[in-house]
Structure 1
Amino acid sequence: MLWKLVAAVAAIAAGVDAGAMLRFSCSQLVVERLDPLVNPGIMPSPHLHQVVGGNAFNVTMDRTSLDIPSTATCTSCTPTEDFSNYWTATLFFRARNGTFKAVKTKGNPLGYGVASGGQTVYYLGPQGNAKVTAFKPGFRMTVGDPNFRTAAQLKKYPMLTYTCLQTATTRGGETTNFPKDTCKEGIMVNIRFPTCWDGVNLDSPDHQSHTAYPVSGKCPSTHPVTVPQVFYETVWDTAPFNDKSQWPADGSQPFVWSFGDKTGYGIHGDYVFGWKGDSLQRALDSNSQCNSDLFGNNLRCPALKAQSIEQANKCTKKVSVKENLEGWLAELPGGMMVN
């Protein structure tokens, strides 16, 4: 089996063909209804999120006053200088009788199985030796739109997809909507952020306009600075819900995002930069020396300090918004309607 894992890892590395590639595990920090980027100061936020990274995560996280690396006391990611926060909506199974049950994340079976949920995070550089500029303190962004419900709408974000994992090494067959059949190893959600920045604004009113995807492989003149591609792989453990007798009577897929989306097209992600000092820039400048250890505990990057996944598992945050997420629920948290 080991040679199959090695081959799969090699295929991933070849597929990205990046000048610098950081790939590391971030264990689950907290699951709760907070969103300091889109809904700052609002507690609870409209829908539920799963969050990884530094434990400075809170209801406001004002970029002008919060020094994230100094405020956080631990990180659930294996690079110990990364106190950034990475978060997505959470997933629910809706049974045939209309009740809901939260789906848990699990450690990526391709190397990070001992992680207590969370997600795999990548920082990818462009091909060749092009200069990649690390994000600046206070930088934050989102990608995707929770209001989208059609494939045509999602074309605005060409790099948000789902992978139906039949094995740990399944890579391919990505879809932009929820998989329509059972997935033996779970559903992997792939969120790839834009790689071009306007070079001025650390944020924008919609949290997106200061970034852009490349056009024909190059950053547009409006966003001339190349930044690393932040890429999340979140594996949702949908295997416990593979009994189709519990699926909708019409045979449609049964999963729903915490904001009520049953199509999958509302896929989105949030990012708040929190690397300490120049640690991310050092790693990006190291190029091929910073390819991550794909077998779990060690980050093979001389420019960075690292902790084991078991140590990262210990970094958690007390829930600020308490609500019952165990067992079967009559409705989604916050009363979000399914549509």
Structure 2
Amino acid sequence: MHRQPARLYTLLVEALVVALAAALSLTVSTQQARAATVTVQAESYAAQSGVALEGTADAGGGQNAAFLADGDWMRFDNVDLGTAGRLTVSARIASAVGTGTIELRTTSATGPLLAVLQTAPTGGWQNWATRTTDVTTHPTGPQTVFAVLRSTTPGDFVNINWFSFVGEGSGPAAGWVPIDQAKWNAQVAQFRAMTAAPVPADVVRVPEFNATCDYSHSKQDDPIVLPNLAGASHMHSFFGNKSTDAFSTAQSLRGSAATTCAPADDLSAYWIPSLYEGNKAVEPQNMIVYYGSRLPDPAATLPFPEGFRMIAGDAKAQTPTPAGSPGQYWCAGAGGEIGRSTDGNWPVCAPTAHLTHQLVFPDCWDGKNLDSPDHKSHVAYTYDGKCSGAYPVAIPNLSFVVSYPTSGSAAGLRLASGMASSIHGDFFNAWDNAALGHRVKDCIVQKAKCNSAGTF
């Protein structure tokens, strides 16, 4: 989903059955020994008072706890606050009126105060902003956390999308992949030393370059969610690196010279759940992977570090997608959409059009981890035009645009992961550092539209 909602996958342990269940879990992990980052969805409360849920208006935004008033509360169990040390606490909020506070307390609604987050109008009930505060001392390990709403404003004063808890911790928990800081520093130094290419006067001033990647192969593998477990996933359609399978690593991808992408310098692996029309797979002819920026000033954008990976979307999301739903499939080409499938969840395209989808990834990074237990908690979407707080590093805004050779039909379609709402995508970075760095420097930092070759 296109948000920072990070739902931590339960760790892969013991038998394959447990691994499969863990890979699809949407609950906050209770097995983190040292929490580097824990993100708690507002709708995942164990108990509440005065809380209603609604869907967020932003594409793929999921749900939020809506129209909260003074005295309302939510209880969240097994929130791992990690080890002793500074804890950065954040909440994604939206408000049309009034001011107030969100008190985070442990043990009970009147228990010890953990943190206080200030709220104020953000311009509307679906105009989202992140509020952050630092805590110097706090309970450690898994805790019961209450969010208690306080305001002198009559009636509703705030919506909440999620909370995050970022601790210093003395080491990484299972599932976190800390970056090699010396290696990253060297990559950043190389990037900063690059001289930007002069931008011609007639170039479109949009921060963007792309890789155009043909369909490569399909496997029931997922080297990010189910590493080393061949055949343990639903079917995926792979693009880019031809060697990608359950055993792929950053080293193996960089060691392979075979890719379906232009440019050849991009050895990254990209994959999505396979699409079916009846029992027949409909494989996309290609995928255009756009690297851009949604920031008003993209000058601070840095290239992805070696071995970086992340996921967008939610394989467990099984909800209807009627016409007009955020992030839905659409018809590209002459004639466009001429109807809907019988179940209403898929467009039916004119014979001269084809099914298309765009999946957008997070564009802010914590600067510390190449991956996280749910493959989302180390990244976040920017909703206020900057990367800050727990996610201070601006990275390219990655998006997949996938075109399928089908117009659909009244019978509808299905993904290997289920309904249309379960669309998701995986990115495993294996770019040549210099090639990626020059593109970020020339095209994104300078706000100049480039092609697959990285030229204007």
The reply to whether TM is greater than 0.5 is: yes
Q: Partner of 1:273 in structure 2? A: 429
Instruction: Give the secondary-structure state (helix, strand or coil) at the position aligned to 1:150.
Output: coil
- Given residue 68 of structure 1, which amino acid in structure 2 is its aligned partner? L
Q: Partner of 2:318 in structure 1? A: 149
Instruction: Give the secondary-structure state (helix, strand or coil) at the position aligned to 2:217.
Output: strand
Q: Partner of 1:234 in structure 2? A: 402
Q: Distance in 2 between matches of 1:195 and 1:60?
A: 27
1:66-77 equivalences under 5 Å are 66=251, 68-69=253-254, 71-77=255-261
Larger RCO of the pair (alpha carbons < 8 Å, separation 6+): 1
| Residue 179 (structure 1) shift | 3.0
Q: Is the 8 A contact 2:271 2:427 kept in 1?
A: yes
Q: Partner of 2:330 in structure 1? A: 163
| Residue 289 (structure 1) shift | 8.4
State the Cα deviation string for residues 37-84 of structure 1 (Å, max 9, x = none). 111111113311111112331222234xx2532x11221111121100
Instruction: Provide closer, same or farther for how the CA distance between residues 183 and 230 of structure 1 changes in structure 2, counting only shifts above 3 A.
Output: farther
Moved over 6 A (4+): none
1:30 equivalenced with 2:217 (yes/no): yes
Q: Partner of 1:257 in structure 2? A: 415
TM-score (norm 2): 0.49
1:301 equivalenced with 2:451 (yes/no): no
Instruction: Provide closer, same or farther for how the CA distance between residues 166 and 81 of structure 1 changes in structure 2, counting only shifts above 3 A.
Output: closer
How many matched pairs?
Answer: 241
| Residue 215 (structure 1) shift | 2.6
Q: Partner of 1:186 in structure 2? A: 354
* Structure with max Cα Rg: 2
Q: Distance in 1 between matches of 2:374 and 2:404?
A: 28
Q: Partner of 2:270 in structure 1? A: 86
Q: Distance in 1 between matches of 2:263 and 2:235?
A: 26
Q: Is the 8 A contact 1:164 1:179 kept in 2?
A: no
Instruction: Give the secondary-structure state (helix, strand or coil) at the position aligned to 1:232.
Output: strand
Q: Is the 8 A contact 2:366 2:393 kept in 1?
A: yes
Q: Percent identity?
A: 26
* Stretches of structure 1 lacking an aligned partner (at least 5 in a row): 1-12, 95-99, 106-116, 153-157, 172-176, 248-253, 303-339
Instruction: Provide closer, same or farther for how the CA distance between residues 279 and 178 of structure 1 changes in structure 2, counting only shifts above 3 A.
Output: farther
Q: Partner of 1:5 in structure 2? A: none
| Residue 31 (structure 1) shift | 1.5
Instruction: Provide closer, same or farther for how the CA distance between residues 86 and 166 of structure 1 changes in structure 2, counting only shifts above 3 A.
Output: same
Q: Distance in 2 between matches of 1:74 and 1:127?
A: 36
1:138 equivalenced with 2:300 (yes/no): no
CA RMSD, 1 decimal? 2.7
Q: Partner of 1:312 in structure 2? A: none
Q: Distance in 2 between matches of 1:142 and 1:120?
A: 17
Q: Partner of 1:102 in structure 2? A: 281
State the Cα deviation string for residues 268-307 of structure 1 (Å, max 9, x = none). 00000000122211111102586344xxxx73517xxxxx
Instruction: Provide closer, same or farther for how the CA distance between residues 255 and 163 of structure 1 changes in structure 2, counting only shifts above 3 A.
Output: same
Instruction: Give the secondary-structure state (helix, strand or coil) at the position aligned to 1:286.
Output: helix
| Residue 149 (structure 1) shift | 1.6
Q: Is the 8 A contact 1:183 1:238 kept in 2?
A: no
Q: Distance in 2 between matches of 1:207 and 1:194?
A: 11
| Residue 159 (structure 1) shift | 7.5
- Given residue 284 of structure 1, which amino acid in structure 2 is its aligned partner? V
Q: Distance in 2 between matches of 1:276 and 1:236?
A: 29
Q: Partner of 1:202 in structure 2? A: 370
- Given residue 220 of structure 2, which amino acid in structure 1 is its aligned partner? R
TM-score (norm 1): 0.64
- Aligned with 1:55 (options 221, 242, 258): 242
Q: Is the 8 A contact 2:359 2:399 kept in 1?
A: yes
Instruction: Provide closer, same or farther for how the CA distance between residues 196 and 289 of structure 1 changes in structure 2, counting only shifts above 3 A.
Output: closer
| Residue 207 (structure 1) shift | 0.4
1:213 equivalenced with 2:381 (yes/no): yes
| Residue 123 (structure 1) shift | 0.3
Q: Distance in 1 between matches of 2:311 and 2:350?
A: 28
- Given residue 35 of structure 1, which amino acid in structure 2 is its aligned partner? D
Q: Distance in 1 between matches of 2:350 and 2:303?
A: 36
Q: Distance in 2 between matches of 1:278 and 1:25?
A: 19
Q: Distance in 1 between matches of 2:354 and 2:313?
A: 22
